[in-house]
Amino acid sequence: MSTSTPGVYVQEVPSGGRAVEPSATSVTAFVGRARRGPVDRAVPVRSVAEFERTFGGLWEGSGLGYAVRAFFANGGTDAVVVRVDDGGVTAEVDLGGGLVVEAIGPGEWASSMVVGVSHPSAAEAAAAAQAQGVGDPDAVFTFWVELDGRTEVFAHVTSVNGPRRVDTVLESSALVRARAAFPLARPTAGSFPVTTAGAEGTTPGSDAYLSESHGIRALDAVPTVNLLVLPPVTRDQSLPDEVWPEALAYVRERRAFLLVDPPPSLAWDEVAGWLADVGLSGRGGRDAAVYYPRLNGTDPLDGAARAIAPSGAVAGVYARTDASRGVWKAPAGTDAGVRDVAGPAAALADSQSGVLNPLGINAIRSFPGFGTVVWGSRTLAGSDALGDEYKYVPVRRLALHIEESLQRGLAWAVFEPNDEPLWAQLRLSVGAFLHDLFRRGAFAGQRAEEAFFVRCDRSTMSQVDIDSGWTTLLVGFAPLKPAEFVILRIRQRTASR
């Protein structure tokens, strides 16, 4: 900046700190069986309507649709859905010449589909070919697909290499994909029914959920997953037991949180035994929570009364609480009402709830004036006998939120000179992030110094650490813990006084 002329000069100076942006807290992944849609691919879903368009909505052969519906009914906003399948057949239409159009996923749902081809006029084809840089106008055609009253039209696609080659364009279709060895001759004009009918697979087993790149592992392609819900395989058939410990290991790897549905056949005093048998008990369960009982409601498919697994609805309550109060607020209590249900499938008495809660099993109860509410906020490490520091759901989820936010927000520090200027920047960035959480009520303590601390200096790392390229931050915070017991001391003056 030149200052040779008298006057007022303004110069923007970098603050020296880099903001740590809070990560999301309630992106919920659902992995389960669906009537239609792509298999083993994570698909973002932001409404029930989106789920119905892609995966077919409610289906008597799956618990997935019921869980997703309950999630959005209870305040959820961001979901990711992975469809699993075991041995299903995908409907196909052979257009001849090596071009095959197949449904986006296996199942009977696409067996009535019809695809069509039309040829443009010579002038229209020539113009389209020239615009795309394709030498042969006879390779240009219009493709359409019709299924269940829904029609998709793709104009000016080509059967040769180019920007609108038919298989490339159909990647945007919600119904079909194309495969062929290109280039090839333009298909004959006309409409074509299915040549290979689709068929349902068998009920998915544990491999469909746990194999590499399948099921849960399809979520590796998603940058953010906060909650994981594994609905029953069918409306009334539980997930294979061996899936649960692997799912818990996965959420631990992703800094996410697992919501567990006990089998529908269990009585209230059998849940703890099942958790131990499956391998979900103990300190390793701090990244998961279980809720009991199921939720009664009316099945929109047939109008029958039905009890559904609670995890989808509870995930919605988590999301609603995060949005209104913050991830540090327990998703339980009279303001954690469960919407769109008739009530718990089993009425728990205070004495029964009093047995479950100290074991880390969260009750769903109904109270006059409040309806059906989530009445517990403990992790699977929440047994009183364990005394784990992460016995409460909001404490664990807040810690995960802080860890994830710092990991993402401090990526810039990699390869920076490992000395005091870097450490000071880290203290500033992390301190500002934690102070914002403190200001919003996330921590206990009246003053910031009582609520959290950040250290990054020679007291947190040795010279060997520094020489090896390690920078160590020590972050501590005072969590808010849910008031499970509110004790009132009442003194009454006697009449004689």
If asked whether residues 322 and 380 sit together in one domain, one would say: yes
Residue 18 maps to a domain: no
If asked whether residues 376 and 443 sit together in one domain, one would say: no
- Provide the CATH number for the domain around residue 266: 3.40.50.11780
Residue 218 maps to a domain: yes
Domain stop point among 337, 362, 394: 394
Residue 285 maps to a domain: yes
- Provide the CATH number for the domain around residue 114: 2.60.40
What integer pLDDT is reported at residue 458 of this predicted model? 94
Q: Is 392 helix (H, G, I), strand (E, B) or coil?
A: strand
Domain stop point among 152, 175, 193: 193
What domain range is 185 assigned to? 92-193
If asked whether residues 469 and 431 sit together in one domain, one would say: yes
If asked whether residues 45 and 72 sit together in one domain, one would say: yes
CA end-to-end span of the chain, whole Å?
A: 84
Rounded CA-CA distance 139/130 in Å is 12
If asked whether residues 469 and 346 sit together in one domain, one would say: no
If asked whether residues 224 and 373 sit together in one domain, one would say: yes
Rounded CA-CA distance 58/36 in Å is 11
What integer pLDDT is reported at residue 490 of this predicted model? 52
If asked whether residues 230 and 369 sit together in one domain, one would say: yes
Summarised one tens digit per residue, pLDDT across range 316-332 is 999 999 999 999 999 99
What integer pLDDT is reported at residue 2 of this predicted model? 64
pLDDT above 60 (res 493):
no
If asked whether residues 189 and 248 sit together in one domain, one would say: no
Average pLDDT score, the chain: 93
pLDDT (mean) for 407-411: 94
Residue 438 maps to a domain: yes
Phi-psi region of 275 (alpha: psi -120 to 50; beta: other; left: phi over 0): alpha
Both tokens assigned to 117: 């081809």
Rounded CA-CA distance 94/109 in Å is 18
pLDDT (mean) for 384-389: 93
Summarised one tens digit per residue, pLDDT across range 115-140 is 999 999 999 999 999 999 999 999 99
Residue 17 maps to a domain: no
Residue 408 maps to a domain: no
Distances (CA, A) of 142 to 131, 455, 481: 15, 64, 62
Q: How many domains does the chain have?
A: 3
What are the DSSP calls for 249-263, one per residue? HHHHHHT-EEEE---
Which one has a higher pLDDT value, 189 or 4? 189
Strands 371-375 and 100-103: unpaired
Q: Are 73 and 316 a contacting pair, CB within 8 Å?
A: yes
If asked whether residues 389 and 251 sit together in one domain, one would say: yes
If asked whether residues 338 and 470 sit together in one domain, one would say: no
Domain stop point among 139, 159, 193: 193
If asked whether residues 235 and 332 sit together in one domain, one would say: yes
Residue 407 maps to a domain: no
Residue 9 maps to a domain: no
Distances (CA, A) of 218 to 32, 301, 474: 12, 29, 33
If asked whether residues 306 and 438 sit together in one domain, one would say: no
pLDDT above 50 (res 492):
no
